[in-house]
Amino acid sequence: MARGDFVGLPVATLNSLRDKYVACLEAIAVAGASYSIAGRSFSRANLSEVREIIAELTLAIENASGTRIRTTYAKFGP
């Protein structure tokens, strides 16, 4: 998932993009319609890709706003 394509973009841009992809997901899942964002078309076949992009955008928003909780685990011994 997290490829980092959206890291570094302004939070307002990230929120706008996420809103567009959520609308895309709703259009595909509820109405079965195809949807276009910036010249790129999505259909029911792309549903998992749209969900993945929403997750990436959410992660980037959390990183940019400082709300993401990061956990590091230490492993001691063999």
pLDDT tens figures, 37-47: 888 888 888 88
Count how many Cα atoms sit within 13 Å of the Cα of residue 51 in the half-sphere of its side chain. Answer: 7
Report the alpha-carbon distance of residue 3 to residue 66 in Å, rounded: 19
pLDDT at position 1: 44
Share of the chain above pLDDT 90, in %: 33
The pTM score is 0.73
CB burial readout 34-64, b (16+ within 10 A) else e? ebeeeeeebeeebeeebeebbebbbbbbebb
Q: Is the dihedral of CA 74, 68, 57, 33 positive or negative?
A: positive
pLDDT tens figures, 7-33: 889 999 999 999 999 999 988 888 888
- Is the per-residue pLDDT at 73 higher than 80? no
3-state secondary structure of 42: strand
Mean pLDDT of the chain: 85
